[in-house]
Amino acid sequence: MLSRRHVSLGLTTTLIAAATRPASAQHAHHDPLYSHLHDKQVTAPPDETLNAQRVTDSPAPRAANQGRWVTRAPLPLPRSEMAWAAVLDDRMHIVGGYAEQRVDRPYHHAYDAKTDRWISAPLLPRGANHVGVAVLGGKLYAVGGHLDQNRRPDNLCFVLDGETWRPIAPLPKPAGAIGVVARDGLLHAVGGAIGDTTPAKLSLDWHLVYDPKADRWTSRAPLPTARDHIGIIEKDGAIHVVGGRVNNFYTNSHLHHVYDAAADKWGMRAPLPTARSGHGSVIYRGKMFVMGGEGSQRVFGQNEAYDFAGDRWEAYAPMPTPRHGLGAVAISDFIHVAGGGPIMGGEIQSAVHEAFTLG
């Protein structure tokens, strides 16, 4: 067990003020929809690569109602490798990731679906990518993350308490790309990756639980197959983990594990039709929808949904703009998918924001 480690946030008054301004104020200009990680002059992905890597066909049966996608307000600037998003106070929150030629941005944007508008929320105390996020008890939590390009993780964890991030007990060891979900007053952090260099990267089978009352992490039954960049959701007390990668995207997984907290055991369910990692996963109209993701020379636009009662998958209308390392949440009757990389790897970021509905 680890108790709280006191970490100075080091946020200045100026930083806090900037973080709480509207997005249009913090980023006065509106960037193009795309940007390059290393070259400011590049504002679009190469068409040849985009077309070669784009994949949208699903092996799953087609749903009767395919649904539709609509365009929503783009992010204030192109971002990718946020990995997850969360809903707090009916707003979509996206933290960290790659942006503006860096991989350790502390950006925190929130989307108000009612006004179709983004605002800048309090910045993370330190910049990172692949930060695990979840909402528990009306508070937003940020867990771990990578400080370099999808590598060199740290173990820092924070909670947004009102308008201020404060540190909580750190992870037992540094890790990034951890899936985090709330269940019954606790945070479950599953999987993840370690390694300070790309050749040294390894996926984890971790299953850690954070108790906010005790401010400490404890262990539960490990994930049967170690992986990172997973999809994770909670439904009716069960935690579902779908897809992800084993060490790298050359070995993406179809696996679909479900965790029974009462028995502290993992079981298997119908596998994800399209193996992928860096995808979004949300509960929408009682089903688990999985969209986007990345593979070897592939960026997936497949939008597949799992029927919990029937233990089966169906295919819905694919994403108009396939992406990976995105943020995805369900608000009202829409699934919002924002940001992410339109080509394999982290070279190109996007501000694209599209929403799916069955209405």
Summarize pLDDT for 89-143 with one digit per residue, the tens: 999 999 999 999 999 999 999 999 999 999 999 999 999 999 999 999 999 999 9
Domain ranges of the chain: 13-357
Coil, helix or strand at residue 24: helix
Prediction pTM value: 0.92
Contact 98, 129 (CB under 8 A): yes
More confident site: 121 or 9: 121
> What is the C-alpha to C-alpha distance for residues 248 and 244, in angstroms, rounded to an integer?
9
Coil, helix or strand at residue 19: helix
Average pLDDT over residues 1-7: 38
14 φ, ψ (degrees, to nearest 5): -65, -40
Evaluate if residue 17 carries a pLDDT over 60. Answer: no
> Quick one: tokens of 299?
């960026």
For 139-175, how does the pLDDT look when each residue is reduced to its tens digit (9 = 90+)?
999 999 999 999 999 999 999 999 999 999 999 999 9
Evaluate if residue 243 carries a pLDDT over 60. Answer: yes
> Quick one: tokens of 143?
């867990």
The CATH code for residues 13-357 is 2.120.10.80
Pairing state of beta strands 327-331 and 312-316? unpaired
Average pLDDT over residues 278-296: 98
* Residue 245 DSSP one-character state: E
Residue 30: the pLDDT is: 57
How far, in whole angstroms, is CA 262 from its chain's centroid? 27
Q: What number of other Cβ atoms are within 10 A of residue 47's Cβ? A: 8
Evaluate if residue 20 carries a pLDDT over 60. Answer: no
* Residue 277 DSSP one-character state: B
